[in-house]
């Protein structure tokens, strides 16, 4: 267990881990405050939907170009700038709480969402640059993930209390203060990595990253499989409230219990990932994805709220392992010079693809009932898991578990033809169960 905490010996990483936790709390505080503000001022579900559309899909479009522009800067400069810009945006949003304009609020929310996802991407890339050469990438990702899941579990509760008790304006100003504090943490941090030397326009660098993913079979197929998984993971999100309140007849408290069970499971899953440093990522990804699919199928058949909550906690645990395992696998498949851009593509997919799931889940619930939405989600996750296992095996991904995997081996497996210096990737040491 002490080995799992080894990255915390690095002062710069400790700050990055704290930043990731505070940012997650801030994201929830801002999102909930904005949702309440927009609905209270407009009374329109469509206006609230437009807000979430801006928060969800704008970052999917804006993050890869923004990261490509910023990756050459020192991490201290890029991360501080992004957080201070977010602070300024939320100050402006707080001002709009008394002089409301829906168009301006949605426009600023679009900017805030894009800055947040770009900052998360560059934080991951900075952590990888520090930990990869030390063989601690997996342990570092596990710690970052625990911070993320803790923030995701606590964030909605804290946001609800602040918004209800102090109002949306105060909540938005508190969010701005959190981003300013994060900026201060970053700008005073020592030993954050310098930006990597970049050549050419950001458009060319982004094009090269896309080509890199396209030409590396393992990475391309992993991202394609996860894109499909994102769709089915998201199918149940818009109908959870209907399932809890109407299908199970458990009311608002039941809906809250269902969400809390998933959040608690996520936090537990993050701890499980950290406690299993020798288990291969391939195994963890398979088992965790299976847990999510099983949880959806079990929820579809749940006769009571208690059974549904137990299933939800299992799914949350799978979710908590699956995301950090996926992130680590993607980082291991990308060389240092492409880290930020490849992570930005993954983050973009994580924002864009759930929208398809939202539409599918809502349509299934409207045509049939919420249980059908859960059943289709579970079956879809299982189908993605089986398909991914086959196509990744054919791409030679399993060979990366063998000691001595290197760029020459990658080339024989049909990987990228992009010119990268040997040893530029960020492998873990073989004894840690690398992929």
The answer on 142 and 222 residing in a single domain is no
The answer on 338 and 250 residing in a single domain is yes
Distance (Å, rounded) from C-alpha 93 to C-alpha 99?
A: 10
The answer on 255 and 171 residing in a single domain is no
Distance (Å, rounded) from C-alpha 427 to C-alpha 408?
A: 14
Residue 424 lies in a domain: no
CB 262 within 8 Å of CB 320: no
**Angle of helix 305-333 versus helix 217-234 axis, rounded to 10:** 160
The answer on 88 and 229 residing in a single domain is no
The answer on 177 and 287 residing in a single domain is no
Residue 335 lies in a domain: yes
Tens of pLDDT along the chain (435 residues) come to: 567 788 989 989 999 999 989 988 998 899 889 988 988 898 887 787 788 778 888 889 999 999 999 998 999 999 999 999 999 999 999 999 989 999 999 999 999 999 999 999 999 999 999 998 888 999 999 999 888 888 877 888 888 889 888 999 999 999 999 999 999 999 988 888 887 666 778 899 999 999 999 999 999 999 999 999 999 999 998 889 889 989 999 987 888 889 889 989 998 998 999 889 889 999 999 999 999 999 999 999 999 999 999 999 999 999 999 999 999 999 999 988 899 999 999 999 999 999 899 889 989 999 999 999 999 999 999 999 999 999 998 877 755 443 333 333 343 334 433 333 333 333 232 232 333
The answer on 250 and 176 residing in a single domain is no
The answer on 346 and 220 residing in a single domain is yes
**Angle of helix 217-234 versus helix 370-394 axis, rounded to 10:** 170
**Quick one: pLDDT at residue 377?**
97
What is the domain extent for residue 119? Answer: 1-192
Question: What residues pair up with 425 in beta bridges, in sequence order?
Answer: 335
**Predicted TM-score (pTM) of this structure:** 0.85
CATH of the domain at 84: 1.20.1250.20
Residue 327 lies in a domain: yes
The answer on 129 and 37 residing in a single domain is yes
Residue 352 lies in a domain: yes
Distance (Å, rounded) from C-alpha 226 to C-alpha 428?
A: 22
Residue 127 lies in a domain: yes
The answer on 127 and 88 residing in a single domain is yes
Look at residues 192, 225, 249 and tell me which one is the last residue of a structural domain: 192
Residue 175 lies in a domain: yes
**Structural domains counted in the chain:** 2
Distance (Å, rounded) from C-alpha 328 to C-alpha 332?
A: 6
Q: Which residues contact 166 (CB under 8 A, 6 or more apart)?
A: 174
**Quick one: pLDDT at residue 360?**
93
Q: Which residues contact 353 (CB under 8 A, 6 or more apart)?
A: 227, 228, 230, 231, 234
Residue 433 lies in a domain: no
The answer on 74 and 221 residing in a single domain is no
Q: What six digits make up the tokens of 190?
A: 């020592």
Residues across the chain: 435
Distance (Å, rounded) from C-alpha 142 to C-alpha 409?
A: 28
The answer on 146 and 13 residing in a single domain is yes
Residue 232 lies in a domain: yes
The answer on 231 and 90 residing in a single domain is no
């Amino acid at each position: 267990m002490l080995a799992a905490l080894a990255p915390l010996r690095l002062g710069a990483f400790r700050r990055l881990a704290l930043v990731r936790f505070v940012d997650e709390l801030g994201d929830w505080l801002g999102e909930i405050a904005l949702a309440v503000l927009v609905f209270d001022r407009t009374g329109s579900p469509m206006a609230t939907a437009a807000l979430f559309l801006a928060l969800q899909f704008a970052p999917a479009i804006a993050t890869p170009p923004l990261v490509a522009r910023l990756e050459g800067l020192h991490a201290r400069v890029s991360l501080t700038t992004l957080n201070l810009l977010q602070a300024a945006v939320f100050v402006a949003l707080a001002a709009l709480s008394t002089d409301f304009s829906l168009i301006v609020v949605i426009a600023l929310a679009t900017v805030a969402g894009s800055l947040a996802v770009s900052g998360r991407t560059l934080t991951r890339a900075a952590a990888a640059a520090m930990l990869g050469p030390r063989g601690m990438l997996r342990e570092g990702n596990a710690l970052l993930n625990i911070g993320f899941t803790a923030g995701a579990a606590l964030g909605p509760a804290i946001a609800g209390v602040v918004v209800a008790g102090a109002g949306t304006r105060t909540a938005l100003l508190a969010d701005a203060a959190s981003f300013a504090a994060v900026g201060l943490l970053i700008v005073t941090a020592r030993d954050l990595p310098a930006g990597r030397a970049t050549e050419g326009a950001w458009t060319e660098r982004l094009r090269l990253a896309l080509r890199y993913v396209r030409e590396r079979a393992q990475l391309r197929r992993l991202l394609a499989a996860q894109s499909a998984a994102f769709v089915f993971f998201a199918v149940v999100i818009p109908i959870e409230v209907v399932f809890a309140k109407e299908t199970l007849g458990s009311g608002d408290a039941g809906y809250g219990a269902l969400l809390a069970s998933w959040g608690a499971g996520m936090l537990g899953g993050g701890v499980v990932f950290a406690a299993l440093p020798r288990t291969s990522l391939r195994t963890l990804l398979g088992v965790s994805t299976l847990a999510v699919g099983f949880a959806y199928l079990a929820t579809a058949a749940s006769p009571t709220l208690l059974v549904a909550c137990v299933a939800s906690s299992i799914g949350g645990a799978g979710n908590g392992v699956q995301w950090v395992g996926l992130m680590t696998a993607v980082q291991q498949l990308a060389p240092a010079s492409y880290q930020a851009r490849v992570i930005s593509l993954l983050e973009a997919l994580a924002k864009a693809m759930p929208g398809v799931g939202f539409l599918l889940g809502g349509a299934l619930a409207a045509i049939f009932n919420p249980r059908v939405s859960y059943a289709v989600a579970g079956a879809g996750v299982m189908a993605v898991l089986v398909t991914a296992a086959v196509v990744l095996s054919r791409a030679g991904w399993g060979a990366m578990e063998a000691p001595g995997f290197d760029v020459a081996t990658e080339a024989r497996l049909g990987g990228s033809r992009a010119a990268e210096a040997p040893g530029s990737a960020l492998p873990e040491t073989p004894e840690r169960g690398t992929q």
